[in-house]
Amino acid sequence: MSGHSSYEPKTGIERWLDTRLPIVRFGADLLDFPTPKNLNYWWTFGGILAMCLGIQIVTGIVLAMHYVPHVDYAFNSVERIMRDVNFGWLVRYMHANGASMFFIAVYIHMFRGLYYGSYKAPREILWILGCVIYLLMMATAFMGYVLPWGQMSFHGAVVITNLFGALPIVGESITTWLWGGFAVDNATLNRFFSLHFLLPFMIAGVVILHIWALHVPGNNNPTGVNVKSKEDTVPFHPYYTVKDGFAISLFLLMFATFVFFQPNALGDAVNYVPANPLVTPAHIVPEWYFLPFYAILRAVPDKLMGVLLMFGAIAMLFVLPWLDTSKVRSMRYRPTAKLYFGLFVLACLILGYCGGRLPDDPVIPGISTFQLLDADLNSMVWLSRVATAYYFGYFVVILPILGLTETPLPQPESISAPVLSHPANAPAGAAASPEKRG
């Protein structure tokens, strides 16, 4: 898509086609794409994610052949898929666990981008498209989880759609509009099925834009240093087709372990109870991949503020390219930033942990401290508040200020340089203030 094409049509048919629909050239250029030669295994998750999307679409289309989107039949049709449809259990377990695998891969992919500064110029659009994909994934996963019409499906749908009710004035009209009634009911289930079918194809569309935006500046790399010459790159094929292929194989091993040995480990047993609008399960939790956001929602005692903060947590990602003031891309050369990044990952994990527990649960069992405002200090609520504060602080305080105050380590001259000589032997003059780096 950028740079010169090295494709030469060899046969008459290829030449004929190349002047009409240069699709072979298109494919050849993708395979030949110059890729930094130092990409590590954190870079294989793009390919893994493409595979995850493919698996979800194929298994999803098969499930749609047997699923019935009606409140009276949905639960039973899913059980029929599990018991009676040939290999239905396999397809459904692949689809349900596939969603979790998709999110594991996307979170690693995102943390990789955060650590190596892949969101910085000139890759802002690439990063934002990725954020759009992530939003679409969350919407798709949420609506998909509603379809089996179990207790968690139903009450999860109630809670999430009620989030929009927190908006002033228009909130109630919006929830009624989303429901197609006065509560989550058949109309809601039907439209969720329709949209759950649509959104993956929208994701596929944005993925194409994402890859297009990737192929304009080319890949970032672990050093964060721009590609300077042809020496710094290798063709995508065979070097990265093989590396990605190996990573995909390992990922599939983990995937298969869940599908065949622990198919329900990542789900909630309560969702095997048919939906009952009159009884809410005692402990209602979303799927694991939403837990950090759920913890942020619950950390705030005010309904509207909680909802705004939860959506704000995702909004932070969209504006991140303009929050981070450091011109050094890779945190490999930002020792202080590396520390704060580690704490950020920890904050996300703590939020995930808190989201799965009850707000009043003690953090350290058996110890009661003192009541601070509305809850005991030794409670999940206060732990979530601390982690939420750090989550937002990382984006709006630490990254903007740190880029101006820190002293980064010397960056290599080029991608090839540290391969040829150890970074410790780099010229002393390489260390300089960050504002002079470009």
Burial tier of 255 (Cβ tally within 10 Å: 0-12, 13-18, 19+): buried
**231 or 302, CB closer to another protein?**
302
CB of residue 171 vs another protein: minimum separation in angstroms?
A: 11
Beta carbons of 258 and 104 less than 8 angstroms apart: no
Q: What is the dihedral of CA 288, 284, 94, 244, to 10 degrees?
A: -10
CB of residue 149 vs another protein: minimum separation in angstroms?
A: 14
CB of residue 154 vs another protein: minimum separation in angstroms?
A: 11
**151 or 219, CB closer to another protein?**
151
Q: CA 97, CA 201: separation in Å to the nearest integer?
A: 19
Which of 96, 52, 67 is closest to 266 using CA atoms? 96
**187 or 273, CB closer to another protein?**
187
CB of residue 347 vs another protein: minimum separation in angstroms?
A: 21
Q: Write the DSSP string, 39-96.
A: --GGGGHHHHHHHHHHHHHHHHHHHHTT---STTTHHHHHHHHHHTSTTHHHHHHHHH
Which of 400, 223, 251, 230 is closest to 326 using CA atoms? 400
**204 or 284, CB closer to another protein?**
284
Note the residues at the interface with another protein (CB under 8 A): 155, 158-159, 161-163, 165, 176-185, 187, 191, 277-284, 298, 300-304, 306, 358-360, 374
**165 or 423, CB closer to another protein?**
165
CB of residue 138 vs another protein: minimum separation in angstroms?
A: 17
Is 35 in a helix, a strand, or coil? Answer: strand
**131 or 158, CB closer to another protein?**
158
CB of residue 101 vs another protein: minimum separation in angstroms?
A: 28
* 193 CB-near residues (< 8 Å, 6+ apart): 67, 69, 143, 147
